[in-house]
Amino acid sequence: MRVVDDVRPGRRAHIARLALLAVFLLGLWYLIGVARILDLDDIRNAVASTGPAAPLVYVVVSAVLGSIFVPGPLLAAGSGLLFGPVLGTFVTLGATVGTATIAGLAGRRAGRNSTRAVLGADRAERIDALIGRGGLWAVVGQKFVPGISDAAASYAFGAFGVPLWQMMIGSFIGSAPRAFVYTALGASVGDLSSPLVYAAIAVWCATAVIGAFAAHRGYRGWRASRTDPAE
């Protein structure tokens, strides 16, 4: 009984730490994603004023903004507006990888130890094994599922211990279709009947279907692992 009393307060502390992290991230999401306290037009104008360095500056600025829940499609559209569909797509991809890096490191630093403590040693080891087998493709698959915040997912991946290299490579691979879609739409804002817009819509529809299929397969796999007698 004395051992249980020693363990519970520590576990409660880890739960409280994760709860505080969640509240902090929700507050950021509300202020940036809902209340829109930042003016993206002013930010784009400031980046454009940097001249030849603007693409690199936008990568850095967008990576930081994405990690604090500025919607990725808006940042990608701004990239297309500033740099066109080709260069803009690469700028968007660089920013997406940067966001995954920043959020992943922050999630790992702030929440990994607490997450492992709450899960317990056995579950943490099983998750480590799952990450070792498919962490990279979990990151890729998440990018294809519409409606999931990339920043929130990256914080979660970091907290669960997904290696940084998997997050970076997975973000680059998985974000490529959507980077093209939103950047192309931003570049075509003055001519929404251009072939580029139709191509972007076709790519978006294809990625949405693939994402829905991947989410379904992932859910079935999770259910199967939960009912596996070996577990």
Burial class of residue 199 (count of CB atoms within 10 Å of its CB; 0-12, 13-18, 19+): middle
Side chain identity at residue 105, one-letter code = L
In 10 A of CB 138, how many CB atoms? Answer: 21
Where do the domains of the chain lie? 2-227
Per-residue pLDDT of the chain (231 residues; tens, 9 = 90+): 444 444 455 677 778 877 888 888 888 888 887 777 888 889 999 999 999 999 999 999 999 999 999 989 999 999 999 999 999 999 999 999 999 999 999 988 887 777 777 777 677 677 777 777 778 888 888 888 777 888 988 998 988 888 999 999 999 999 999 999 999 999 998 787 889 999 999 998 888 888 777 666 666 765 665 555 444
